[in-house]
Structure 1
Amino acid sequence: MTLAIAIHGGAGVVSRDISDQVRQEYIEGLSTALRKGWEVLQSGGSAVDAVEASVESLEGRGSVFTSSGTHEMDASIMDGNGLRCGAIGGVSTVRNPIRLARKVMDNSPHVFFAAAGAEAFAREQGFDITPVEHFYTKHRHDQLQDAKRRQTVELSESELKGKEVSNYNKGTVGAVALDSRGNLAAATSTGGMTNKKAGRIGDSPIIGAGTYAANGVAAVSATGLGEQFIRHAVSHSIIAAMDYGKMTLREACDDVVHKRLNEGDGGVIALNAEGEVYMPYNSEGMFRASITSNSNEVVKIWE
């Protein structure tokens, strides 16, 4: 059985003016996260364990700010074996949201907990309260101030020209994997969009929009303008086009990303049951990486 994993670190406006040092830091971060999941697969671990490991590595430290100056994080995970899934939305004290989404899938009869209910479930599951300082970084705070001055949710490409730091993107990370037993899985985690209204939920925690996996077909994790990905039920639409419409992985992804979504909306990472990886996007750039039993490690931003 082919092993495969792909990850993304967000899509959107990614300035090409960054220094070689900053670019290399992004490449190394993606490679490290990819390897975390790959090691799980190579040791015989499950696709679910692999995507959780990679996404947890990508979650790192810091999160974008809402317009109220708070942090609200969302995540989801799905096991293609039996369509098991779990999601959380609007949490502010959980260091690794993807771990909590996994607990929802494994330890509750429900799929989605939000806000106070998700925080309460985290305490029940033994999660420590993470201080707000963990989610603060000067870069993210500067993003908020820039967005507020321009009265925008995200900064446009023209407003980013010449900026040293490139990740003025959608603040989203994700992974898809295929394990040695043929099981597929997908996971997505996000801090949302800079200067979003408090309480806004995007596509990342919504099963069928930002995340979907079905054994024998494919696994998809999306990143971009959440409202658009919800409207088009992007992840499930790709899998439905393959399952019912008999499209190939590339045909299905291209149909959704390049024909249904608007230019600049974002992209997806996708993996089929044969271990083929495809990572299309229609935005300025997308942080992404992949490795399979049949291909070497690939890490890209613009190419």
Structure 2
Amino acid sequence: MNPVLVVHGGAGPVSEDVKERLRQGIVRAATVGYCILREGGSAVDAVEGAVVTLEDNPEFNAGKCAFRLMSAIQHIEEEKSRAEKKESKDSGGKGGTFNSVLGSKLHCWLWASFSFSACRFFLFIFSRNLETVGAVALDCKGNVAYATSTGGLVNKMVGRVGDSPCVGSGGYADNDIGAISTTGHGESILKVNLARLTLYHMEQGKTVEEAADLSLGYMKSRVKGLGGLILVSKTGDWVAKWTTTSMPWAATKDGKVHFGIDPGETTIKDLA
């Protein structure tokens, strides 16, 4: 099985002055993850390596560089999933019970009690251009995995839980179908269960392109939500799609890296 890794740097507007830095950052993350796969590493290790690289990059809203809360305390929502055991590691809900506030004009989910020990970092930080980062991978053994990490919305309420740590919304992985990581307006993604919806379309025989278009189109028409996703199938087909103005992305396969930011933009280079 030829390994594949795809990464995204968040769906949303991108100013011209940062595009080249975003391209460099997204390609570097994809290269880090792909090198792990090429050396025989697992899909889980590859997506973790790629996402950590993005978290450490100040151009992206994740990890050390996340949006600040209304309380000015940084909160990280991160999830990593391995398909072979369907595991998830979720920092969004540890230390508190979920209260459903679906229909709220602001957020879908809030913690009932707060335990900031569950957060990965505590930093005072200024907001960046983009949101969520993510990665999906297929390794040489045929296992798929995804990772999604975000700082969430700028000036979000304390206790707000977005789509990223929620299995089926921020991402999903199943060895019988593929793996997906999503980005965009979290409340909209939660309402349509975007990640699982996309894989459902693949189960019904849709290609990765068709499944991505159907699910993103449904979210836009049903709840007026915009976003993006990266998707890899169990056979190694991949796609990066979005309905926002831009989304930095990169995909590595067969010793080449494909990358872009704006609609219709694709550059292909050989990997060293």
Asked whether the two chains share a fold, i.e. TM above 0.5, the reply is yes
Contact 2:189 2:219 in 1 (8 A): no
User: Match of 2:172?
Assistant: 212
Contact 2:219 2:226 in 1 (8 A): no
User: Match of 1:36?
Assistant: 32
Identity in percent: 33
Please report how far the alpha carbon of residue 87 of structure 1 lies from its aligned counterpart in structure 2 after TM superposition. Answer: 1.1
Query: In the alignment, does 2:188 pair up with 1:228?
Result: yes
Separation in 1 of the partners of 2:37 and 2:235?
15
Contact 1:74 1:89 in 2 (8 A): yes
Separation in 2 of the partners of 1:198 and 1:90?
13
Separation in 2 of the partners of 1:296 and 1:235?
26
The residue type equivalent to 1:14 in the other structure is V
Q: How many residues align?
A: 236
User: Any idea what the Cα deviations from partners look like across 1:166-206, whole Å, max 9, x if unmatched?
Assistant: x523x211000000000000010000010111111110000
User: Any idea what the Cα deviations from partners look like across 1:43-100, whole Å, max 9, x if unmatched?
Assistant: 0000000000000111113221112222111111111112122211178xxxxxxxxx
Per the alignment, in what secondary structure is the counterpart of residue 279 of structure 1? Answer: strand
Separation in 2 of the partners of 1:291 and 1:264?
29
Select which of 157, 177, 180 maps to 2:140. 180
- Structure 1 or 2: more helix by fraction: 1
Contact 1:63 1:136 in 2 (8 A): no
The higher radius of gyration belongs to 1
Closer/same/farther in 2, CA of residues 24 and 201 from structure 1, 3 Å limit: same
User: Match of 1:242?
Assistant: 202
User: Match of 1:257?
Assistant: 216
User: Any idea what the Cα deviations from partners look like across 1:99-125, whole Å, max 9, x if unmatched?
Assistant: xxxxxxxxxxxxxxx952x726x8xxx
Per the alignment, in what secondary structure is the counterpart of residue 9 of structure 2? Answer: strand
User: Any idea what the Cα deviations from partners look like across 1:274-300, whole Å, max 9, x if unmatched?
Assistant: 11110110001001111112x621121
TM-score (structure 1 length as normaliser): 0.73
- CA-based RMSD of the aligned residues comes to 2.1
Q: How does 1:4-43 map to 2 (within 5 A)?
A: 4-15=4-15, 18-19=16-17, 22-43=18-39
Separation in 1 of the partners of 2:205 and 2:117?
41
Contact 2:137 2:179 in 1 (8 A): yes
The residue type equivalent to 2:238 in the other structure is V
The residue type equivalent to 1:285 in the other structure is S
Per the alignment, in what secondary structure is the counterpart of residue 236 of structure 2? Answer: coil
Q: After TM superposition, where is structure 1 displaced by more than 6 Å over at least 4 residues in a row?
A: none
Please report how far the alpha carbon of residue 249 of structure 1 lies from its aligned counterpart in structure 2 after TM superposition. Answer: 1.5
Select which of 45, 50, 71 maps to 1:68. 71
Closer/same/farther in 2, CA of residues 90 and 13 from structure 1, 3 Å limit: farther
Query: In the alignment, does 2:221 pair up with 1:280?
Result: no
Please report how far the alpha carbon of residue 264 of structure 1 lies from its aligned counterpart in structure 2 after TM superposition. Answer: 6.0
Select which of 58, 62, 86 maps to 1:83. 86
TM-score (structure 2 length as normaliser): 0.81
Separation in 1 of the partners of 2:70 and 2:242?
27
Per the alignment, in what secondary structure is the counterpart of residue 194 of structure 1? Answer: coil
